[in-house]
Structure 1
Amino acid sequence: MKDRLFLDTNIVIDLLGERASFYESAAKIATLADKGKVHIIVSALTYSTVYYLLSRYEDNEVVKEKMRKLKVIAETSDLTDKIIDQGLSSKFADFEDALQYYCAVKTECNILITRNGKDFKASEISVLTPDEYLKSRKIKP
């Protein structure tokens, strides 16, 4: 069975923003998805956040094109009333993290990929950094 990886927003920003210290590992995960070796899932909320942040530094159409390419390899988890209610009722300190987590649960992800593992202490899903995930699968980060 292929891993179902939920990418936290910070990982998508690393990937599409090509952030120097973090890009390579995020790109390797995207390549695994492109080759059909893993499924990657992002929340609908991620698209608006990524657009808002990246369009401050890059041309709007360039950012949209990057997001179109992501959509080819990533499944999108809808942000539903139920997920919002779960987030509002959760023990997560950060509401956005709660929404991300419940999107991952809804889409039956087995691993949540983030650089902020401490924000997901309440997670019942494995939480790994991109480097940790790649090492766990014996792929050089």
Structure 2
Amino acid sequence: MAKIFLDSNILIDFLVEERGALNLAAVKLFENFSASDTICYSFGSISDVAYVLKKFYKISDEIILDFFRALSRKSNFKCLPLSSDGLSMACEYAKSELKSGRKIDFEDVLQYFCALEGGCEAIVTNDKTFPKIQIALKRMDANIEDYAPKQKN
């Protein structure tokens, strides 16, 4: 029984056959979820995914709507919100990264803090720059290493 967060790119991989091996890996991932797993995604991912699918992959509105309707009806899939406190933490983290000279992808930072607030144990993402803080990152792309946070003593 795990609580797993899906990055937006995993949802896109699942729906876009042209993404080849990543699509196959995403389909397999969805097939292997246990009924006792809680699978999470952020409220913000819905509009991001819909935009990318329509604009870059020409996926129809009907397919996009059917997909998100199906997710909303599955008892083990949860759409997570981001609170004002979560947004504030995300902004502080992003500003800290920028001050340190590191680039950020604010959309990924928001998703990370959404997963953190939601109590997720792991995030599935293929994004190389996804924040590496205190939640494990699992990759479907064999060319990108997983991330395991250091254990506190």
* Fold shared per TM-score above 0.5: yes
Q: Give the deviation of 1:131 after TM superposition.
A: 5.7
Q: Percent same amino acid among aligned pairs?
A: 28
Q: Give the deviation of 1:38 after TM superposition.
A: 2.1
Counterpart contact for 1:5–1:40, Cα < 8 Å: yes
- Taking the TM superposition and a 5 Å limit, the aligned residue runs for 1:86-125 are 86-90=89-93, 91-92=96-97, 93-121=104-132, 123-125=133-135
Unpaired stretches in structure 1, ≥5 consecutive residues: 137-141
1:77 maps to what in 2? 80
Q: How many residues align?
A: 130
Q: Give the deviation of 1:32 after TM superposition.
A: 3.0
TM-score, normalisation: structure 2: 0.75
Counterparts of 1:85 and 1:95 in 2: how far apart (Å)?
12
Larger radius of gyration: 2
Counterparts of 1:72 and 1:113 in 2: how far apart (Å)?
21
Cα deviations across residues 72-130 of structure 1 (Å, max 9, x unaligned)?
34201112222211111114522111111111111111111100143222x20111113
Unpaired stretches in structure 2, ≥5 consecutive residues: 98-103, 147-153
Cα deviations across residues 34-91 of structure 1 (Å, max 9, x unaligned)?
x404221000011001111112302211211122122234201112222211111114
Amino acid at match of 2:67: K
2:32 maps to what in 1? 32
TM-score, normalisation: structure 1: 0.81
Counterparts of 1:69 and 1:130 in 2: how far apart (Å)?
23
